[in-house]
Amino acid sequence: MSPNPFSKTIPFRPGNPTHLLNYMSLGDDSGAVLLDEQALRILKKIQEPIAVITVVGSYRRGKSYFANTLLGRHDGFKLGSSVDGCTKGIDIWDTPFYHKDKRVVVIDCEGIDDPNQEVPWANKLFILCLAISSTLIYNINGIIGRDDIEKLFLMTKIVSLIQPPNDHKFLPNLVVLLRDFQLDSPPDFVEYFLNRLSKVNEDAAKDITKFFKKFNVYGIPHPGIRQDAMRNMSEVDTDQLDPSFVEKIEEAVTNIFDDLHPKYLNASPMTGVAFAEFLERCVVQINDPSNTMLSIPSAYEATISYAAQKAYESCLELYNEMMDHMSLEGFPISWDKFEDVHNTAFEEALKNFIQQIIGSVDQIQTFQKTFRDKITDIKDQFYMKNSSAMREYHEGWAHKLWKEHVAHGLEVENLFDTDQFEEAIALFEQAYETKVMPGQEAIQVLNEFKTNQYKDAIKLLNTYGILREERANEMLARQEAEKKYYEILQEEEQLKAEINNVKIENEKVQNQLEEKVKGMEECLRNQEQQIREDCQSRLNNMQDQLIRTLEKKPSFWDSVKDLVGSVAGANVLENFL
């Protein structure tokens, strides 16, 4: 069957539903939540910040259909026409889609009051949805009855079974859908909803405003089609639906996406790997019979550590690959090129690492320090390989050039005189200089020649009387002085290079950390701004409602006139006044 788009206003999202988790009953009112590995793999592939929209609520109330409209389609998640719930466990859309710098995952949850459910499963299901969602859509009957209100009150009490991280900012945006709403639309659905809620259960209304800093309410009218067509909503054409139904669906979906934020861990948005780990940690806690609460802090800490470990693995591998590519060209390479390749690889690996890690600023700084230490260890391994190749390279050339310029004049039948020897040494050093790759290895090899070959040659010529004792000692002293000079020069150059390299790395780390912290601060500001705007909007609506109420309320004397009941009586009163 071909896909069935909902409307042009809501983008059509290709894909199919797939199972995320289910519940296995173990008897005696106990059971275990089971995660699907294929669905977890889908989540782990998400590299952008992840946002999760979960649709929950009563079974057989169009919950799955609304989940489909979030995808811009009538079909998608399975719909049913029987009295039994259709969705079992939790299904996700297998193709997370991109929306405003984040990847969106839509979740369709089993009806929370399915008569075939076990009570522990219903509670665990709802707790899990509260913990993992960015936006939780609660789908209930448009005519708010006592039963619906009691379910909402139960929802707020379930929140108390979650140990929060210092506050309730981990809770999702709450959206309440009033389905088949037949009354005239109130000026403000949120105030209408809270008023209805307060009349039956004041605590429920207070808890919702306390726990959910951002929530909205939408009245969705009846689709306006016959009962037989309602049984096949996945196949219906949008033109068959009541325009007001389509309009309200479009309005709700558009606003839900406008208000959608990533799933945060503290001030850091989670990516797929972190979210999948967080989900698994929550499931482990829920399945533990000794746990009476879902501890968000412990799940957070485990997720933070896991995300850091995965970031270490992937980013160190990236650094290794880039450095390996350099080594394929063959060692030795110049130290300038070595540092250029390292800096490029380090910057790329660091950028990816900082993007992947989550947690507080202090935790992030600790992670990056550990990461940098690990990078240094890997760099040192490549350094030793290149240094060894460098030494071998210079030793090879030194021996070759010594043989070419000096060795033949140290044979007994061809011994140099003093001038010839000094000229040969000068030619050797000049030729060596043309082959040198700058670095400590070149100086070390030359100094070793001064210590060994030079001394042996001078002693040989001195033994045969070609060099006088004074001249030989003078040459040995000069070679020793040059050796020490080059050693000092080598140490100085090496120290300068190390300082420069550390400076470059520090700048890269500082820039990446500043960008990360700036992003976290921006996330916090956006969250706080969103809360302030929502509170101000509610306050404005309450003031408007109060003004409308006062305008409609009759004055005292108008009431007296009405009580008099006649124009004449009213005139008498007016004359009296």
DSSP string, 531-573: HHHHHHHHHHHHHHHHHHHHHHSPPHHHHHHHHH-SHHHHHHH
Q: What CATH number has the domain bearing residue 134?
A: 3.40.50.300
Residue 446 has pLDDT above 80, yes or no: yes
131 and 268 fall within a common domain: yes
Query: Burial of 16 by CB count in 10 Å (0-12 exposed, 13-18 middle, 19+ buried)?
Result: exposed
pLDDT at 557: 42
User: Residues 36, 118, 127, 51: is their CA dihedral positive or negative?
Assistant: positive
pLDDT digits (tens, 9 = 90+) for 20-32: 998 877 766 667 8
Residue 539 has pLDDT above 70, yes or no: no
In a domain, 478, yes or no: yes
pLDDT at 73: 95
In a domain, 506, yes or no: no
286 and 396 fall within a common domain: no
Question: Among the three residues 292, 322, 338, which one is the final residue of a domain in this structure?
Answer: 292
pLDDT band at residue 84 under the 50/70/90 scheme: very low
Q: Which of 398, 379, 396 is nearest to 335 (CA)?
A: 379
pLDDT digits (tens, 9 = 90+) for 507-532: 776 776 667 667 666 666 666 666 56
278 and 421 fall within a common domain: no
**What spatial distance separates the first Cα and last Cα of the chain, rounded to whole Å?**
79
Phi-psi region at 355: left, alpha or beta (left = phi > 0; alpha = psi -120 to 50):
alpha
Q: Which of 384, 383, 402 is nearest to 448 (CA)?
A: 402
395 and 281 fall within a common domain: no
pLDDT digits (tens, 9 = 90+) for 91-132: 999 999 999 999 999 999 887 655 555 656 777 788 888 889
Question: What is the residue type of 155?
Answer: M
What CA–CA distance (Å, rounded) separates 104 from 96? 5
What CA–CA distance (Å, rounded) separates 91 from 17? 6
What CA–CA distance (Å, rounded) separates 47 from 311? 12
Question: Among the three residues 236, 259, 292, which one is the final residue of a domain in this structure?
Answer: 292
- Alpha-carbon distance values, 369 to 102, 269, 300, 353, 510 (Å): 28, 21, 21, 11, 11
User: Residues 398, 400, 403, 406: is their CA dihedral positive or negative?
Assistant: negative
- Alpha-carbon distance values, 532 to 192, 256, 519, 526, 528 (Å): 21, 18, 20, 10, 6
- Helix 455-463 with 418-435: angle, nearest 10 deg: 170
270 and 394 fall within a common domain: no
What CA–CA distance (Å, rounded) separates 464 from 153? 109
DSSP string, 29-43: TEEEEEE-HHHHHHH
398 and 260 fall within a common domain: no
pLDDT digits (tens, 9 = 90+) for 467-483: 777 776 777 777 777 77
Question: Among the three residues 292, 308, 337, which one is the final residue of a domain in this structure?
Answer: 292
Lowest mean pLDDT among 280-284, 343-347, 478-482: 478-482
How many of the other CB atoms lie within 10 Å of CB of 276? Answer: 23
What CA–CA distance (Å, rounded) separates 377 from 106? 43
175 and 60 fall within a common domain: yes
DSSP state at residue 263: P
Q: Which of 107, 192, 76, 99 is nearest to 142 (CA)?
A: 192
What CA–CA distance (Å, rounded) separates 382 from 469? 47
Question: What is the residue type of 566?
Answer: S
pLDDT digits (tens, 9 = 90+) for 359-393: 877 888 889 899 999 999 999 999 999 999 999 99
SS3 501: helix
In a domain, 542, yes or no: no
51 and 195 fall within a common domain: yes
In a domain, 352, yes or no: no
What CA–CA distance (Å, rounded) separates 438 from 276? 50
Output phi, psi for 179, to 5 deg. Answer: -80, 145
Output phi, psi for 265, to 5 deg. Answer: -120, 110
pLDDT digits (tens, 9 = 90+) for 286-309: 888 877 677 777 777 888 888 889
404 and 272 fall within a common domain: no
> How many residues comprise the chain?
577
Question: What is the residue type of 133?
Answer: S
The 3-class secondary structure across 156-207, one letter per residue, is HHHHCCEECCCCCCCCCEEEEEEECCCCCCCCCHHHHHHHHHHHHCHHHHHH
276 and 412 fall within a common domain: no
Beta bridge partners of 268: 265
Please state whether the predicted TM-score (pTM) of the whole model is above 0.85: no
In a domain, 533, yes or no: no
Residue 541 has pLDDT above 70, yes or no: no
In a domain, 421, yes or no: yes
User: Residues 233, 238, 244, 247: is their CA dihedral positive or negative?
Assistant: positive
What CA–CA distance (Å, rounded) separates 14 from 474? 87
pLDDT at 540: 67
* Preceding peptide of 332 cis, ω within 30°: yes
- The domain in which residue 486 lies consists of 389-496
Q: 158: which residues sit within 8 A by CB, 6+ positions away?
A: 123, 126, 127, 130
Q: 184: which residues sit within 8 A by CB, 6+ positions away?
A: none
- Alpha-carbon distance values, 404 to 182, 431, 434, 521 (Å): 103, 10, 15, 67
CB 116 within 8 A of CB 85: yes
pLDDT band at residue 40 under the 50/70/90 scheme: very high
The domain tally of the chain equals 2
